[in-house]
Amino acid sequence: MIKTWELDPGFKDEIMKEPGGEHLTSCYQCSTCTIGCPITEIVPSYNPRKIIQMSLLGMREEVLSSPDLWICLICQTCTARCPQDVGISDLLSAIRRIAEKDEEAGKLKIESSRPLFDTAFLHTVEKYGRLYDIGLAMEYYPKREGSFIAGQKAMMKDYMDFGMRMFFKGKMGPLGGHGLLKGVLPSKIKKTDVMKKIFKWAEEKEK
Ligand code: SF4
Ligand code: SF4
């Protein structure tokens, strides 16, 4: 049940001020995004159209605390198909940034390890200029599990599970990366200083 007195009419403006959130009000609720989303095959209740509708209504608290906000793969299928050019995956990123700001301000507890994963991903790209699987895993798992030892155990468990499936499909070497042994050691792009400049520029823009 929607409690009208709890709605935040300024929420849509807040989203539209974030980069990627500009086209929120263009959505006319056709559901094309949800029908084609691959996540719905695994999580049938996942519904990006509903997240947009709730955002338009001003259901700020419900949207920002929803675990569904964090499961988008950023595959861009919805973005390619949306007749209104809403840019759904960018829009969801914009809403996630608001949730992260609320968490930093102590107003919200995000019930998802996705921000930790995204941060570890960005750290490897900043450092090496490209993804380095093992570096990402070594940062992500201990933070997710709360200690280095627990992180190593969780990493091995996942490796034995989906890591092996990826290995047999030729997507991962025995120790990470692509191909048989590639990715074991990090390989940097030549101009990592350019990458660092891009990250510095993005940080300045966020202030
Ligand atoms: S496809 Fe575009 S217009 Fe249709 S519901 Fe999704 S975001 Fe809205
Ligand atoms: S970008 Fe996200 S919401 Fe859109 S189709 Fe892909 S997984 Fe679904």
For 17-50, the pLDDT digits (tens) are 999 999 999 999 999 999 999 999 999 999 999 9
pLDDT for res 193: 84
133 residue type, one letter: D
For the chain, list the domains and their CATH numbers. 4-104 (1.10.1060.10), 114-206 (no CATH)
Q: Please tell me the residue having the least CA distance from ligand 1 atom 7.
A: 27
Q: Is the pTM of this model over 0.85?
A: no
pLDDT for res 167: 77
90 three-state secondary structure: helix
Residue with tokens 């990826």: 166
Tokens representing residue 98 in the block:
């608001």
pLDDT for res 170: 73
Tokens representing residue 156 in the block:
């091995």
Residue with tokens 């692509």: 178
Helix (H) or strand (E) holding 14: helix 11-17
* Ligand positioned closest to the Cα atom of 52: 1
Distance (Å) of CA 42 to CA 33, 39, 72: 16, 5, 12
pLDDT for res 184: 60
Question: Cα(164)–Cα(160) distance, rounded to whole angstroms?
Answer: 5
pLDDT for res 183: 55
pLDDT for res 134: 83
> Residue 72: CB within 6 Å of ligand 2?
yes
Crossing angle (nearest 10°) for helices 88-104 and 114-128: 100
> Residue 30: CB within 6 Å of ligand 1?
yes
> Residue 88: CB within 6 Å of ligand 2?
yes
Distance in Å, CA 111 to ligand 1 centroid: 26
Question: Cα(207)–Cα(192) distance, rounded to whole angstroms?
Answer: 23
> Residue 52: CB within 6 Å of ligand 2?
no
Flag residues of the chain having pLDDT under 70: 172-187
Tokens representing residue 194 in the block:
């350019």
